[in-house]
Amino acid sequence: MVTVVVPLDGSEFAERALRPACAFAARLGDARVLLMSCASDDASLLQAHLDDRASSFARSVDVDTLIIEDVEPSAGILQTMTSLPDALLCMATHGRGGLRTAVLGSVADQVVRRSSEPLVLVGPACRTVLLAGERGRLLVCSDGSGFSETIVPVAASWAARLQLEPWVAEVVAPDEQVAFPGEPVRNRQAEAASARLDQLAARLETPTSTARPTVLHGTPVSRSIVGFAGRLSATLIAMATHGRTGISRSAMGSVAGEVVRHAPCPVLVSRPEATART
């Protein structure tokens, strides 16, 4: 049985992960949702809060609760994940950025950096929830590097398990090559990206869906991805992160942080180390 773990801290913001988590659990079928929290003071008040939130979703999915006492939150979350044979972490994040702050905030940042498994992050702009019977879409992001493509096997597994239609996209900038008079203007970056995406699409096909490759144009990259996800009505975005400081400020890492911050749907992130285990 899959356990979808949702960390809660008593705040309304943390509860933003509840609906996506329950939707994923319902989609998987043989799954439950585990509402967990790390108590440092009155555990009874926290238990009452978890019980109240569990009762709100009990009619649609199996919901359990767990409180871990006297442990730092990120350590407690990771401890819970490693204790379960088939667990999926779904957690809310503020997605705040800045030169001296982690893009995802301290707890989520530490979890991303230390997690050995892919996880789902629900940012402040997330509004999409997968409905029962809906033909959901999974947007897989690549930047043409081998690193970014490490998300492909994870995304393929998720597309099959959640019965999502896979799309794979890469963002390219306009080609600065000048064409001779009378010749068509060629965007060589787009042509190269299209060839790469065709190969990735073949790896993302599921028994029920053929993956669709799409070349996007625009800057910054994160804005192009978020905008396309909105137009596509994507259920989930999947992308790799370096995980050096949670969401790293280099290459696809910085893009992943901005996507999580602004995406209209949850974002599945995975480090290459985690991908190797999937």
CA separation for the pair 34, 6 (Å, rounded): 6
3-state SS assignment for residue 162: helix
Alpha helices in 84-206 (DSSP H): 106-114, 152-162, 188-204
- Could you tell me the pTM of the whole model? 0.88
Complete domains list, the chain, with CATH:
1-92 (3.40.50.620), 127-278 (3.40.50.620)
pLDDT value of residue 277: 47
pLDDT at 185: 56
pLDDT value of position 184? 56
Spatial distance between the Cα atoms of 158 and 179, rounded to a whole number of angstroms: 43
Q: What is the pLDDT of residue 109?
A: 81
Determine the pLDDT at residue 102: 42
- pLDDT tens sequence for the chain (278 residues): 999 999 998 888 899 999 999 999 999 888 999 999 998 777 888 899 999 999 999 998 999 999 998 899 999 999 999 999 899 999 998 765 433 344 455 788 888 888 878 999 999 999 988 877 788 999 999 999 999 999 999 999 999 999 999 999 999 986 655 555 555 556 788 999 999 999 999 999 988 889 999 999 888 899 999 999 999 999 999 999 865 544 444 334 578 889 999 999 999 999 876 554 44
Q: Work out the angle at residue 266's Cα, subtended by the Cα atoms of residues 264 and 115, and round it to the nearest 5 degrees.
A: 145
Q: What is the structure's pLDDT at 206?
A: 84
CA 47 to chain CA centroid, Å, is: 28
Strand partners, 88: 4
CA distances from 214 to 14, 91, 171, 226 (A): 33, 29, 9, 14
